[in-house]
Structure 1
Amino acid sequence: MTDFHQYCQDKAAASGSSFYYSFLFLPPERRRAITALYAFCREVDDVVDECNDPQVAQAKLDWWREEVHRVFDGAPHHPVGLALKDIASHFNLPREQLLEIIDGMQMDLVQTRYLDWKALHLYCYRVASVVGLLSAEIFGYTERQTLKYAHDLGLAFQLTNIIRDVGEDARRGRIYLPVDELQRFNVPAHEILEARYSENFRSLMAFQAQRARGLYEQAFAQLPAADRKAQRPGLIMAAIYRSLLDEIEADGFQVLDRRTSLTPLRKIWIAGRTWLRG
């Protein structure tokens, strides 16, 4: 394995993400490709989450935009850029979609609230559905309908992330739950920022969980049988994320002052079981 692919492997393994467990069973070439894509997503996401100065974060995202162009037009500098250059043409990864992921991350620099689901949907599309579409290219497909599955599955994943991370995001000053839904369930934003639970808050979160489950079902309904085997990594991640959603709900949506997660052993067990089911 080259140094730059090893860098991506280490980046993915260190994160402990459910995404990492979903591609453990892939053949080496596809595993290297999806690991490079995941490492790219982690790099640009870390810019926003770890940089306290918005101007510095903006400069770093601008640098990553240039790095994406270097992936396709020149000589990239970063190990992740080198890894992407190595796999981009073989797996037909469009530069526009990589840039769109950065557009989504940039939204976090300028926006901390979303008025309604339509507005939040755009954010989720950029940071998650686009990743799903790129992943579908790497996993392989024969029918265009599979891209609709990948799009909707990305939305479901991101909404699950939002549900899990309500408290963590609030501590960064961000509330992704749509403003009109906060108002509908009578949950003032300051209660989320202050980590104050209420029955109204739990009702709001149950509504979000129901929406996420609907998106999972919508995605699965659009996956052609002919592509199910190739798309097993996405199905593994879906199984892990749906188990996580079940845990959060069973715990009464205690997401304001803690972060629910599954153990690595349980993730591996779910991944192996889902892979064998095909």
Structure 2
Amino acid sequence: MLASQPIAVPLDPAARADLAAMAEDTIAKGSRSFAAAARLFDAETRRSAMMLYAWCRHCDDTIDDQVLGFARRPLGTLCSGAERLALLERETLAALRGEPTSHPSFRAVADVVARHGLPQELLLQHLHGYRMDVEERHYATVADTLTYCYHVAGVVGVMMSMVMGAKDETTLDRASDLGIAFQLTNIARDIVEDARAGRVYLPAEWLADADLKPGDLADPRQRPVVSLVANRLIDLAEPYYASAFHGLRELPPRSAWAVATAHGVYREIGMQVKGLGANAWDARVSTGRRQKLGHVARGAAKAALARRGGPAGRSEALWTRPRLMGPAR
């Protein structure tokens, strides 16, 4: 059962400015793709978006014993993933109650919750995605993989959309769709790296179709077959990217521009993985500065096109996020 929604209190301007600076530094080092898009938000939206990202980044690093998603750090006193997760849950809820915490990202997310009325349930849904990693969940079906994608990325899209002012359920569904598309792209790009770490997010039914075992994913001899499975993931992401495009019209113009830019950057990563075939994992696929600048320009046009178009129905074939147990505030 969910705990009652704590009443978080917004930070004073000076404290918020300090935390926003911390968050901006975090995003600049931890995600160049998101950083490029975040610059397009208006100042207040950018602060909140970066502060929410800083909490997500800290949670991810804590579970994986990493710093900004890259360098490994020595294990501290919390040796098990379950202990790390329990700490994240305790400190997140403590921050929402206004209690002291061990890391500034918790105060940052509490401020975002207070300013934008984010339901506590959304934060707990995101933390559940880390629980799925800690418990080494088995993903038997496509629906299982999509459920994981929602918890680690789709729900972040929902929270970011609420930061931008969206409340309509259909718009939030499309925000979830974009997060899911991003995560499907990430899984395709990182199949080999994840497999080496003992994590497999591909549906087991797809592996069976390709006559692959989980241990085959890191085997260079299996790369041609692995690339075919990766292509299925990238193709699966396409209708979610398409759905997310239609949600741009419901966002403020600057926010729509930023989201459209991120949409283009991440989708291109998937297209690169698909184009490289068996060579997609020789080096980490990413977009360069010139490519990002191109997506900034195209993002403005994409946002304008979405705004001119009429509302489009969301396909019932798409996996749909769970509805909140309580209404959004």
Task: With the length of structure 2 as denominator, give the TM-score of the two structures.
Answer: 0.77
User: What residue is the counterpart of 1:107 in the other structure?
Assistant: 132
User: What residue is the counterpart of 1:161 in the other structure?
Assistant: 186
Could you say which structure has the higher helix fraction? 1
User: What residue is the counterpart of 2:85 in the other structure?
Assistant: 61
- Residues 257 and 109 (structure 1), Cα distance of their counterparts in 2 relative to 1, 3 Å cut: farther
In 1, Cα distance between equivalents of 2:278 and 2:245: 25
Residues 217, 223 of structure 2: 8 Å contact kept: no
The reply on whether 1:207 has 2:232 as its aligned counterpart is yes
What are the equivalent positions in structure 2 for 1:180-191 lying under 5 Å apart? 180-191=205-216
User: What residue is the counterpart of 1:49 in the other structure?
Assistant: 64
Residues 167, 193 of structure 1: 8 Å contact kept: yes
Question: Of 255, 259, 263, which residue of structure 1 is paired with 2:288?
Answer: 263
Residues 248, 256 of structure 2: 8 Å contact kept: no
What are the equivalent positions in structure 2 for 1:118-137 lying under 5 Å apart? 118-137=143-162
Residues 142, 227 of structure 1: 8 Å contact kept: no
Superimposed CA distance per residue, residues 44-64 of structure 1 (whole angstroms, 9 cap, x where no aligned partner):
111222268784332222122
The reply on whether 1:38 has 2:53 as its aligned counterpart is yes
In 2, Cα distance between equivalents of 1:253 and 1:137: 39
Superimposed CA distance per residue, residues 18-71 of structure 1 (whole angstroms, 9 cap, x where no aligned partner):
222221111111111000111111111112222687843322221221222122
Residues 100, 126 of structure 1: 8 Å contact kept: yes
Residues 165, 255 of structure 1: 8 Å contact kept: no
The reply on whether 1:242 has 2:257 as its aligned counterpart is no
Residues 132, 151 of structure 1: 8 Å contact kept: yes
What are the equivalent positions in structure 2 for 1:11-30 lying under 5 Å apart? 11-30=26-45
- One-letter amino acid matched to 2:296: A
Residues 16, 264 of structure 1: 8 Å contact kept: no
Specify the SS of the correspondent of 2:148.
Answer: helix
- One-letter amino acid matched to 1:210: D
In 1, Cα distance between equivalents of 2:250 and 2:118: 22
In 2, Cα distance between equivalents of 1:250 and 1:50: 32
In 1, Cα distance between equivalents of 2:288 and 2:248: 31
Superimposed CA distance per residue, residues 231-257 of structure 1 (whole angstroms, 9 cap, x where no aligned partner):
332221111011111111111153444
User: What residue is the counterpart of 1:193 in the other structure?
Assistant: 218
The reply on whether 1:83 has 2:98 as its aligned counterpart is no
Residues 227, 274 of structure 2: 8 Å contact kept: no
Superimposed CA distance per residue, residues 198-255 of structure 1 (whole angstroms, 9 cap, x where no aligned partner):
443232222211111122123334x263437343322211110111111111111534
In 1, Cα distance between equivalents of 2:164 and 2:268: 23
The reply on whether 1:225 has 2:240 as its aligned counterpart is no
Q: Percent identity?
A: 29
User: What residue is the counterpart of 2:69 in the other structure?
Assistant: none
- Residues 116 and 55 (structure 1), Cα distance of their counterparts in 2 relative to 1, 3 Å cut: farther
How far residue 9 of structure 1 moved from its aligned partner, in angstroms, is 1.2
User: What residue is the counterpart of 1:73 in the other structure?
Assistant: 97
What is the root-mean-square deviation in Å for CA atoms of aligned residues?
2.2
- Residues 86 and 202 (structure 1), Cα distance of their counterparts in 2 relative to 1, 3 Å cut: closer
- One-letter amino acid matched to 1:154: G
How far residue 84 of structure 1 moved from its aligned partner, in angstroms, is 2.0
In 1, Cα distance between equivalents of 2:283 and 2:294: 24
Residues 167, 257 of structure 1: 8 Å contact kept: no
Specify the SS of the correspondent of 1:261.
Answer: coil
- One-letter amino acid matched to 1:39: A
